[in-house]
Amino acid sequence: MTRRQWVGPHPNVSITRQCELAGVARSTVYAASTRRAGEDSFELLLCKLLDEEYTRHPFYGSRRMVVFLRRKGHHVNRKRVQRLMRKMGLAGMAPGPNTSRRHPEHKVYPYLLRGLDVVRPNQVWSTDITYVRLLHGFAYLVAIIDWYSRMVLSWRVSNSMDASFAIDCLEDALTLYGRPEIFNSDQGSQFTSAGFVKVLKREGCRISMDGRGRALDNIFVERLWRSVKYEDIYIKGYSGMKELTEGMASYFTFYNGERPHQALCNRTPLEVYESGHGGGAKVVDRFTAAAAQPAMGTNSAGAVST
Protein backbone atom coordinates (compact mmCIF):
# COMPACT_ATOMS: atom_id res chain seq x y z
CA MET A 1 0.00 0.00 0.00
CA THR A 2 1.34 3.46 -0.90
CA ARG A 3 1.38 6.40 1.47
CA ARG A 4 -1.39 8.03 -0.53
CA GLN A 5 -3.63 5.00 0.13
CA TRP A 6 -3.19 5.50 3.88
CA VAL A 7 -5.11 8.75 3.64
CA GLY A 8 -8.91 8.68 3.83
CA PRO A 9 -11.99 9.70 5.84
CA HIS A 10 -11.39 9.60 9.59
CA PRO A 11 -13.67 10.81 12.42
CA ASN A 12 -10.87 12.50 14.38
CA VAL A 13 -8.06 13.32 11.95
CA SER A 14 -8.53 15.75 9.06
CA ILE A 15 -7.31 15.01 5.54
CA THR A 16 -4.81 17.86 5.86
CA ARG A 17 -3.30 16.39 9.05
CA GLN A 18 -3.25 12.88 7.53
CA CYS A 19 -1.34 14.22 4.52
CA GLU A 20 1.22 15.85 6.87
CA LEU A 21 1.67 12.63 8.81
CA ALA A 22 1.94 10.47 5.66
CA GLY A 23 4.20 12.96 3.89
CA VAL A 24 2.08 13.33 0.76
CA ALA A 25 0.71 16.40 -0.99
CA ARG A 26 -2.99 17.18 -0.52
CA SER A 27 -3.37 17.80 -4.26
CA THR A 28 -2.28 14.21 -4.95
CA VAL A 29 -4.89 12.81 -2.57
CA TYR A 30 -7.67 15.03 -3.93
CA ALA A 31 -6.79 14.11 -7.52
CA ALA A 32 -6.89 10.40 -6.66
CA SER A 33 -10.26 10.81 -4.92
CA THR A 34 -11.67 12.60 -7.95
CA ARG A 35 -10.48 9.82 -10.26
CA ARG A 36 -12.03 7.15 -8.01
CA ALA A 37 -15.33 9.05 -7.90
CA GLY A 38 -15.32 9.34 -11.68
CA GLU A 39 -14.63 5.61 -12.11
CA ASP A 40 -17.39 4.71 -9.62
CA SER A 41 -19.87 6.95 -11.44
CA PHE A 42 -18.98 5.35 -14.77
CA GLU A 43 -19.41 1.86 -13.35
CA LEU A 44 -22.81 2.80 -11.94
CA LEU A 45 -23.79 4.12 -15.37
CA LEU A 46 -22.71 0.87 -17.01
CA CYS A 47 -24.64 -1.13 -14.41
CA LYS A 48 -27.71 1.01 -15.05
CA LEU A 49 -27.53 0.35 -18.80
CA LEU A 50 -26.86 -3.36 -18.33
CA ASP A 51 -29.76 -3.69 -15.89
CA GLU A 52 -32.22 -1.98 -18.26
CA GLU A 53 -31.09 -3.97 -21.31
CA TYR A 54 -31.13 -7.28 -19.42
CA THR A 55 -34.67 -6.56 -18.23
CA ARG A 56 -35.69 -5.94 -21.86
CA HIS A 57 -33.66 -8.83 -23.30
CA PRO A 58 -32.80 -11.37 -20.57
CA PHE A 59 -31.31 -13.75 -23.15
CA TYR A 60 -28.40 -11.36 -23.78
CA GLY A 61 -25.02 -12.64 -22.63
CA SER A 62 -21.81 -10.68 -22.19
CA ARG A 63 -20.95 -10.62 -25.93
CA ARG A 64 -24.23 -8.97 -26.91
CA MET A 65 -24.00 -6.61 -23.95
CA VAL A 66 -20.59 -5.43 -25.19
CA VAL A 67 -22.16 -4.67 -28.59
CA PHE A 68 -25.07 -2.89 -26.90
CA LEU A 69 -22.78 -0.70 -24.76
CA ARG A 70 -20.55 0.17 -27.72
CA ARG A 71 -23.60 1.29 -29.69
CA LYS A 72 -24.37 3.56 -26.74
CA GLY A 73 -20.89 5.07 -27.09
CA HIS A 74 -19.17 3.19 -24.24
CA HIS A 75 -16.18 1.27 -25.58
CA VAL A 76 -15.70 -1.35 -22.87
CA ASN A 77 -14.22 -4.81 -23.28
CA ARG A 78 -15.95 -8.11 -22.63
CA LYS A 79 -13.91 -8.81 -19.50
CA ARG A 80 -15.30 -5.71 -17.81
CA VAL A 81 -18.86 -6.54 -18.86
CA GLN A 82 -18.48 -10.09 -17.52
CA ARG A 83 -17.23 -8.72 -14.19
CA LEU A 84 -20.15 -6.32 -13.89
CA MET A 85 -22.69 -8.99 -14.85
CA ARG A 86 -21.26 -11.32 -12.20
CA LYS A 87 -21.48 -8.53 -9.64
CA MET A 88 -25.10 -7.91 -10.60
CA GLY A 89 -26.01 -11.60 -10.70
CA LEU A 90 -26.99 -11.46 -14.38
CA ALA A 91 -26.65 -14.34 -16.82
CA GLY A 92 -27.92 -14.83 -20.35
CA MET A 93 -30.83 -17.28 -20.62
CA ALA A 94 -29.39 -19.34 -23.46
CA PRO A 95 -27.46 -22.50 -22.48
CA GLY A 96 -23.78 -21.84 -22.06
CA PRO A 97 -20.98 -21.22 -19.57
CA ASN A 98 -22.27 -17.83 -18.34
CA THR A 99 -24.72 -18.88 -15.60
CA SER A 100 -25.73 -17.91 -12.07
CA ARG A 101 -22.87 -18.01 -9.61
CA ARG A 102 -22.92 -21.59 -8.43
CA HIS A 103 -20.86 -22.89 -5.52
CA PRO A 104 -18.75 -25.81 -6.80
CA GLU A 105 -19.23 -27.82 -3.58
CA HIS A 106 -23.01 -27.37 -3.29
CA LYS A 107 -25.37 -30.09 -4.48
CA VAL A 108 -27.56 -29.26 -7.47
CA TYR A 109 -31.03 -30.82 -7.71
CA PRO A 110 -32.87 -31.80 -10.95
CA TYR A 111 -35.58 -29.66 -12.54
CA LEU A 112 -38.99 -31.13 -11.63
CA LEU A 113 -41.45 -28.79 -13.38
CA ARG A 114 -41.18 -29.79 -17.04
CA GLY A 115 -44.47 -31.32 -18.13
CA LEU A 116 -46.03 -30.72 -14.71
CA ASP A 117 -49.58 -29.34 -14.50
CA VAL A 118 -49.70 -26.73 -11.75
CA VAL A 119 -53.35 -26.89 -10.67
CA ARG A 120 -53.51 -25.52 -7.11
CA PRO A 121 -51.96 -22.92 -4.81
CA ASN A 122 -48.88 -24.02 -2.84
CA GLN A 123 -48.14 -26.78 -5.32
CA VAL A 124 -45.06 -24.96 -6.67
CA TRP A 125 -43.20 -21.99 -5.23
CA SER A 126 -40.30 -20.33 -7.00
CA THR A 127 -37.62 -17.79 -6.08
CA ASP A 128 -34.93 -15.62 -7.61
CA ILE A 129 -32.69 -12.65 -6.85
CA THR A 130 -32.43 -9.52 -8.98
CA TYR A 131 -30.12 -6.51 -9.01
CA VAL A 132 -31.65 -3.14 -8.12
CA ARG A 133 -29.80 0.07 -8.89
CA LEU A 134 -30.06 2.95 -6.43
CA LEU A 135 -29.20 6.60 -6.88
CA HIS A 136 -25.85 6.15 -5.10
CA GLY A 137 -25.25 2.42 -5.23
CA PHE A 138 -27.12 -0.82 -5.66
CA ALA A 139 -29.03 -3.51 -3.77
CA TYR A 140 -30.46 -6.97 -4.31
CA LEU A 141 -34.10 -8.06 -4.15
CA VAL A 142 -35.27 -11.62 -3.50
CA ALA A 143 -38.87 -12.78 -3.80
CA ILE A 144 -40.84 -16.01 -3.51
CA ILE A 145 -43.81 -16.46 -5.84
CA ASP A 146 -46.63 -19.02 -6.00
CA TRP A 147 -46.75 -20.42 -9.54
CA TYR A 148 -50.47 -21.14 -9.59
CA SER A 149 -51.57 -17.61 -8.69
CA ARG A 150 -48.39 -15.58 -9.43
CA MET A 151 -48.75 -14.15 -5.93
CA VAL A 152 -45.64 -12.75 -4.23
CA LEU A 153 -45.55 -14.58 -0.89
CA SER A 154 -42.48 -12.95 0.62
CA TRP A 155 -39.60 -10.65 -0.32
CA ARG A 156 -36.45 -9.07 1.13
CA VAL A 157 -33.88 -6.46 0.07
CA SER A 158 -30.19 -6.55 0.92
CA ASN A 159 -26.97 -4.74 0.04
CA SER A 160 -25.14 -8.06 -0.42
CA MET A 161 -25.74 -11.44 -2.06
CA ASP A 162 -25.30 -13.31 1.23
CA ALA A 163 -27.55 -16.37 1.62
CA SER A 164 -29.02 -15.13 4.92
CA PHE A 165 -31.51 -12.71 3.37
CA ALA A 166 -32.80 -15.44 1.04
CA ILE A 167 -33.23 -17.77 4.02
CA ASP A 168 -35.11 -15.06 5.96
CA CYS A 169 -37.42 -14.60 2.96
CA LEU A 170 -38.08 -18.36 2.80
CA GLU A 171 -38.81 -18.64 6.51
CA ASP A 172 -41.23 -15.72 6.26
CA ALA A 173 -43.16 -17.32 3.38
CA LEU A 174 -43.36 -20.64 5.22
CA THR A 175 -44.66 -18.95 8.36
CA LEU A 176 -47.33 -16.98 6.49
CA TYR A 177 -48.52 -19.51 3.89
CA GLY A 178 -47.56 -23.03 4.94
CA ARG A 179 -45.28 -25.07 2.70
CA PRO A 180 -45.17 -25.89 -1.01
CA GLU A 181 -44.99 -29.37 -2.47
CA ILE A 182 -42.15 -28.31 -4.80
CA PHE A 183 -39.74 -25.40 -4.38
CA ASN A 184 -37.89 -24.23 -7.51
CA SER A 185 -34.88 -21.93 -7.84
CA ASP A 186 -31.86 -21.40 -10.04
CA GLN A 187 -28.45 -22.87 -9.21
CA GLY A 188 -27.19 -19.74 -7.46
CA SER A 189 -25.07 -20.29 -4.36
CA GLN A 190 -27.70 -18.67 -2.11
CA PHE A 191 -30.25 -21.38 -2.99
CA THR A 192 -27.84 -24.33 -2.98
CA SER A 193 -26.35 -23.27 0.37
CA ALA A 194 -26.59 -25.69 3.31
CA GLY A 195 -28.77 -23.26 5.28
CA PHE A 196 -31.34 -22.76 2.51
CA VAL A 197 -31.58 -26.45 1.59
CA LYS A 198 -31.84 -27.41 5.28
CA VAL A 199 -35.01 -25.31 5.67
CA LEU A 200 -36.63 -26.93 2.61
CA LYS A 201 -35.75 -30.43 3.81
CA ARG A 202 -37.06 -29.62 7.28
CA GLU A 203 -40.42 -28.76 5.72
CA GLY A 204 -40.48 -31.84 3.50
CA CYS A 205 -40.42 -29.86 0.22
CA ARG A 206 -39.23 -31.45 -3.00
CA ILE A 207 -36.35 -29.36 -4.33
CA SER A 208 -36.20 -28.37 -8.00
CA MET A 209 -33.52 -26.29 -9.73
CA ASP A 210 -33.40 -24.70 -13.17
CA GLY A 211 -31.25 -26.33 -15.81
CA ARG A 212 -27.82 -24.82 -16.33
CA GLY A 213 -28.22 -21.49 -18.13
CA ARG A 214 -32.01 -21.93 -18.52
CA ALA A 215 -33.54 -18.96 -16.76
CA LEU A 216 -36.77 -19.58 -18.69
CA ASP A 217 -37.33 -22.54 -16.37
CA ASN A 218 -38.22 -19.89 -13.78
CA ILE A 219 -40.15 -17.67 -16.18
CA PHE A 220 -42.80 -16.33 -13.79
CA VAL A 221 -40.21 -14.78 -11.48
CA GLU A 222 -38.40 -13.31 -14.50
CA ARG A 223 -41.66 -11.66 -15.54
CA LEU A 224 -42.18 -10.40 -12.01
CA TRP A 225 -38.80 -8.63 -12.17
CA ARG A 226 -39.75 -6.97 -15.44
CA SER A 227 -42.98 -5.67 -13.90
CA VAL A 228 -41.30 -4.48 -10.72
CA LYS A 229 -38.61 -2.59 -12.58
CA TYR A 230 -40.66 -0.96 -15.33
CA GLU A 231 -43.70 -0.19 -13.17
CA ASP A 232 -41.86 1.01 -10.07
CA ILE A 233 -38.06 0.97 -9.70
CA TYR A 234 -37.10 2.66 -12.97
CA ILE A 235 -39.83 5.25 -12.52
CA LYS A 236 -39.07 6.20 -8.92
CA GLY A 237 -35.28 5.90 -8.85
CA TYR A 238 -34.84 5.04 -5.16
CA SER A 239 -31.91 6.73 -3.44
CA GLY A 240 -31.23 4.27 -0.62
CA MET A 241 -32.22 1.08 1.16
CA LYS A 242 -34.89 2.71 3.34
CA GLU A 243 -36.72 4.21 0.37
CA LEU A 244 -36.37 0.97 -1.61
CA THR A 245 -37.81 -1.12 1.24
CA GLU A 246 -40.77 1.21 1.67
CA GLY A 247 -41.34 1.33 -2.09
CA MET A 248 -41.26 -2.46 -2.47
CA ALA A 249 -43.72 -2.88 0.40
CA SER A 250 -46.12 -0.55 -1.37
CA TYR A 251 -45.60 -2.08 -4.83
CA PHE A 252 -46.06 -5.72 -3.79
CA THR A 253 -49.24 -4.83 -1.91
CA PHE A 254 -50.48 -3.27 -5.15
CA TYR A 255 -49.20 -6.17 -7.29
CA ASN A 256 -50.91 -8.85 -5.19
CA GLY A 257 -54.17 -7.14 -4.35
CA GLU A 258 -54.98 -4.49 -6.97
CA ARG A 259 -53.09 -5.01 -10.24
CA PRO A 260 -55.13 -7.12 -12.72
CA HIS A 261 -53.10 -9.94 -14.28
CA GLN A 262 -53.85 -10.68 -17.93
CA ALA A 263 -52.89 -14.36 -17.64
CA LEU A 264 -55.38 -14.66 -14.74
CA CYS A 265 -58.26 -13.23 -16.81
CA ASN A 266 -57.66 -9.82 -15.20
CA ARG A 267 -58.05 -11.08 -11.67
CA THR A 268 -55.44 -10.31 -9.01
CA PRO A 269 -52.96 -12.89 -7.69
CA LEU A 270 -54.48 -12.57 -4.20
CA GLU A 271 -57.97 -13.38 -5.51
CA VAL A 272 -56.71 -16.46 -7.35
CA TYR A 273 -54.55 -17.64 -4.46
CA GLU A 274 -57.32 -17.36 -1.89
CA SER A 275 -60.05 -18.86 -4.09
CA GLY A 276 -57.93 -21.63 -5.61
CA HIS A 277 -59.59 -21.04 -9.00
CA GLY A 278 -58.49 -19.43 -12.25
CA GLY A 279 -54.75 -19.95 -12.05
CA GLY A 280 -52.35 -22.64 -13.15
CA ALA A 281 -49.37 -23.26 -15.41
CA LYS A 282 -47.63 -25.96 -17.35
CA VAL A 283 -44.05 -26.13 -18.58
CA VAL A 284 -43.95 -27.63 -22.07
CA ASP A 285 -40.78 -29.46 -23.05
CA ARG A 286 -39.80 -27.37 -26.06
CA PHE A 287 -36.76 -25.09 -26.18
CA THR A 288 -38.05 -22.93 -28.99
CA ALA A 289 -39.68 -20.07 -27.07
CA ALA A 290 -41.12 -19.02 -23.73
CA ALA A 291 -44.50 -17.36 -23.56
CA ALA A 292 -47.32 -17.78 -21.06
CA GLN A 293 -50.66 -17.56 -22.85
CA PRO A 294 -53.94 -16.17 -21.42
CA ALA A 295 -56.11 -18.66 -19.58
CA MET A 296 -57.77 -21.22 -21.82
CA GLY A 297 -59.73 -22.96 -19.09
CA THR A 298 -60.52 -22.95 -15.40
CA ASN A 299 -57.13 -24.18 -14.26
CA SER A 300 -54.86 -23.32 -17.18
CA ALA A 301 -53.55 -19.79 -16.88
CA GLY A 302 -50.22 -20.25 -18.60
CA ALA A 303 -48.32 -22.62 -20.86
CA VAL A 304 -44.57 -22.10 -20.90
CA SER A 305 -42.50 -23.58 -23.70
CA THR A 306 -38.94 -24.41 -22.70
Q: What is the pLDDT of residues 239-283, one digit of tens each?
A: 999 999 999 999 999 999 999 998 899 999 999 999 999 999 887
CA proximity to 179, closest of 246, 135, 122: 122
Q: Which of 184-188, 231-235, 287-291 has the lowest mean pLDDT?
A: 287-291
**pLDDT averaged over every residue in the chain:** 80
Give CB contacts under 8 A, 24+ apart, made by 30-33.
32/4
Average pLDDT over residues 193-203: 96
Whether residue 168 has pLDDT greater than 90: yes
Gap between the Cα atoms of 236 and 246, Å rounded: 12
Q: How many CA atoms lie within 13 A of 16 on its CB side?
A: 0
The predicted model scores a pTM of 0.70
Q: What is the pLDDT of residues 92-140, one digit of tens each?
A: 544 433 334 554 566 889 999 988 999 999 999 999 999 898 887 889 9
Gap between the Cα atoms of 185 and 84, Å rounded: 22
DSSP designation for 114: B
Best CATH choice for the domain 117-305 from the list 3.40.1010.20, 3.30.420.10, 3.90.550.10, 3.30.70.580: 3.30.420.10
Residues of the chain within CATH 3.30.420.10 domain(s) are: 117-305
